Amino acid sequence: MTIKHSLKTAVEGLRTHKSRSLLTILGIVIGITSIILIISVGDGAQNLILGQIQGLGSKTIAVIPGREPKGPTDIAQTLTTTLKEKDLAALLKKENAPTIKEIMPLVFSSGTASYGAETYSLTILGVSEKAFSIFNLDVAEGNPFTEDDIKSQSDGIVIGSKVKTELFGASDAVGQKIKIKGKNFRVIGVLPLKGQVSFFNFDEIALVPYTTAQQYILGIKYFNRFIVEADSDETVSRTVSDIKSTLRESHGITDPEKDDFFVQTSADIAKTLGNITSILTLLLTSIAAISLLVGGIGIMNIMLVAVTERTREIGLRKALGATGRDILTQFLLEAVILTGLGGLIGIILGASFSFGVSIILSKVLGLNWMFVFPVSAAIIGLSVSALVGLVFGIYPARQASQKSPIEALRYE
């Protein structure tokens, strides 16, 4: 019997039992759908994160207090007070770090702003006047604060577009006063729609002079970060080295293993976050792949039932000249067709769900989320589903091929 004839016979066998065939591939469909959805969303998340990191520019360097965390349990190590005013002064000296173009101290907190009866929860960033160039920010209304505002601990505040809408509606915000943590701040500027840049959504943010934030909002005398910009891409490595040596001297550290700070470039952050998202995607994909195993076992069970139900058919075909190999081929093809069809349906459903998720995240939540169709995952998923059908279809197919035609014809 030719492969073409065996294929036609297998398809006819599946069409005869449509309901059973659909139920048989359900596990495969769920498994492939889950895998495509997880990988697509994982790739989309990775692209979003990398895009936000790249928004800071390749020359941007972050100096973070505390020892560099090696795992999730080490995050608390970064909540230290090791970056002080003397460190900022040391880094500002050209002889210590000649390739630093800009340096900005940063403190941050969450809080609630109120204006009249309106309130809004926002993120408060205490920055210097250099924030507007480092984060590439313009002011749609009013003006940014200046170096003099930093020195005088000015009460001027620049708010994001969403903050302005929530507190003031269509009214002008510039010149009005809002209250944060019991202190009045005068709105001197409003940012245009900006969205997410790095880890901050500038539509939902308030920028104040870092000296004001330290004194009146946080009550601290240290910094949460230094954001440094090198003068060129080529000098980033040298800048990192100069920062480390300057801070070690400032902190009296001779052994690099005892650093109470760490330095990350945009590339370092992107690599770290990329590795994290890849590991999470792989973990979730592995969990989803278990359903493929369950689906394969289900196919084997259903095929065994099918062999029993079609015993007389097998006996009749053998009596008409079909060999054991023909029967084996037919049942194997049925299993492979079932799982291959299940894989194809799973790919279509997974892509559809992923596209729906991307629309929800981009339109509803306002994220710069792009739909990613994982072509390699689709090809692998289709191949794996066919392989599952082949592997789990071998035993039922062998059982069918080994039946005696005389006993099969006598079967009731």
Given the DSSP bridges, would you call strands 205-209 and 118-127 parallel, antiparallel or unpaired? Answer: parallel
pLDDT for 76 equals: 45
pLDDT at residue number 75: 46
- 39, 374 Cβ separation under 8 angstroms: yes
**Residue 291: Cβ within 10 Å count:** 21
pLDDT in tens, 294-314: 777 777 777 666 666 666 666
pLDDT digits (tens, 9 = 90+) for 170-218: 889 999 999 998 889 999 999 988 776 666 778 889 999 999 999 989 8
Please tell me the predicted confidence (pLDDT) of residue 402.
61
pTM over 0.75: no
Enumerate residue ranges in the chain where pLDDT < 70. Answer: 1-21, 49-58, 69-79, 196-199, 269-270, 272-274, 276, 288, 291-292, 303-322, 324, 364-368, 392-412
Token pair in block for residue 315: 């006996």
CB 327, CB 397: distance < 8 Å:
yes
Q: Where are the domains of the chain?
A: 3-52+271-410, 60-264
pLDDT value of residue 360: 81
Q: Assign 3-class secondary structure to the chain.
A: CCHHHHHHHHHHHHHHCHHHHHHHCHHHHHHHHHHHHHHHHHHHHHHHHHHHHHCCCCCEEEEEECCCCCCHHHHHHHCCCCCCHHHHHHHHCCCCCCCEEEEEEEEEEEEEEEECCEEEEEEEEEECCCHHHHCCCCCCEECCCCHHHHHCCCCEEEECHHHHHHHHCCCCCCCCEEEECCEEEEEEEECCCCCEECCEEHHHEEEEEHHHHHHHHHCCCCCCEEEEEECCHHHHHHHHHHHHHHHHHHHCCCCHHHCCEEEEEHHHHHHHHHHHHHHHHHHHHHHHHHHHHHHHHHHHHHHHHHHHHCHHHHHHHHHCCCCHHHHHHHHHHHHHHHHHHHHHHHHHHHHHHHHHHHHHHHHHCCCCCCCCCCHHHHHHHHHHHHHHHHHHHHHHHHHHHCCCHHHHHHCC
